[in-house]
Amino acid sequence: MNDATTLFSPARHQPRLCLLLITAMLASLGPALAEGGGANDQEDKDHHRIAAYRGWYLGAGAGVAHNADFVEANDDGSLSSIESDRNDVGVTLFGGYSFGYFGLEAGYRDHGTVSFDAVSDGESYSWSGGNVSTSLESDGYYFGVRGQYPMAPRWTLFATVGVYAWKTTETFTESFGTSTDENSGSDITYGAGVEYDLGKEDKWALRSDFTQDTVDDDEDAVSTVGASAVYRF
């Protein structure tokens, strides 16, 4: 499909609002979790050591994946009565090695499926007239560098930048039938978040983060806000 001018939509701000809500939730859980772990003076002295963890880790998480550009990328000006669903459950699996204040991380990220239904006036080369619909599935693998800083006892701020190797499957349905377009490529990915150490023998941590990926030949911006559990070896 041809590119179209990206329209401003309040939905663009949904992932950032979700990140604030998840961060607030984890912050409220922090004191209770610390009390449950039986914190003492010695443990308090170890907090920064725990936050600046060194070693291998694995993690898994889920959240909300939002494709901001999907509809506009497929609207050639002939569409009306557009009903879209730009959000789906995003799933992430990852692993890496932390050197203390920086680390290397690789993983798999699935953005789920987004879709829209519309009516085309048939006055464009892209769509035939009548009811039309499109769905887009996207997922891929990423590798990146992570910078991190223990800002408070048990709490670590981090930011990541890397490469996301994506693949997409887009399905178009209109009056004459259904067609499928499969694409693959790679683009820059970046993100930021917070991590809370549960204090269980340095093994478990909770992570809340925001990531931004680019997918498909239309360069759709996909934002994912999620929460993950991290196990440290």
C-beta neighbour count of 67 within 10 angstroms = 27
pLDDT of residue 201: 64
pLDDT at 52: 67
> What per-residue confidence (pLDDT) applies to 168?
97
pLDDT at position 200, please? 66
Could you tell me the pTM of the whole model?
Answer: 0.75
pLDDT of residue 36: 43
The reported pLDDT for the residue numbered 160 is 96
| pLDDT at site 177 | 87
What is the CA 178 to chain-centroid distance, rounded?
Answer: 29
Residues of the chain with pLDDT under 70: 1-52, 200-202
Question: Mind listing the pLDDT tens digit for each residue in 141-167?
Answer: 999 999 999 888 788 999 999 999 999
pLDDT score, position 162: 97
